[in-house]
Structure 1
Amino acid sequence: MSDLFWLNNEHMARLEPFFPKSHGKPRVDDRRVLSGIIFINRNGLRWRDAAKE
């Protein structure tokens, strides 16, 4: 699964201060969400056309 991520640990460490804090509800994997956003933007896709992974 890690081959699907666009950001490595160094990138995530730099972005970590900008993530919202969890308020009682478990957060989704930020790396997975950001990688999906990058994938959509780089490939010019719509969200509904993206792969589920």
Structure 2
Amino acid sequence: MARTVLTDNTWEQLQSTMKAHGCHTWKNDKQVMEAILWKLRTGAPWRDIPSELCPWKT
């Protein structure tokens, strides 16, 4: 299982900021954001993103 870094409180704040700026929302936004943070944290290729976060092609 992949380690996640977004707490519920942080995610709620991020969601409200994205909504305030007119960002479109999807049902798996949190998993995609976790995958982006995982990629930045590890420096691994996109194809190595853990499948429980989201499909690497997302």
Q: What TM-score, normalized by structure 2, do the two folds share?
A: 0.62
Q: % of aligned pairs identical?
A: 25
Structure showing greater radius of gyration is: 1
Q: 1:4 Cα deviation (Å)?
A: 4.2
Structure scoring higher RCO (CA < 8 A, sep ≥ 6) equals 1
Map of 2:6 onto structure 1: 7
Indicate how the Cα distance of structure 1 residues 49 and 21 shifts in structure 2: closer, same or farther if over 3 A, else same. Answer: closer
C-alpha RMSD of matched pairs (Å):
2.2
Map of 2:46 onto structure 1: 47
Length, aligned pairs only: 48
Distance across 2 between alignment mates of 1:16 and 1:37: 15
Map of 2:28 onto structure 1: 29
Letter in 2 for 1:32: Q
Report the 3-state secondary structure (helix = DSSP H, G, I; strand = E; otherwise coil) of the residue aligned with 1:34. Answer: helix
Where in structure 2 are there 5+ consecutive unaligned residues?
Answer: 53-58
Which deviations, in whole Å up to 9, do the C-alpha atoms of 1:4-46 show, x marking residues without a partner? 4320111011111215245xxxx23221111111111100011
Indicate how the Cα distance of structure 1 residues 50 and 21 shifts in structure 2: closer, same or farther if over 3 A, else same. Answer: closer
Where in structure 1 are there 5+ consecutive unaligned residues?
Answer: none
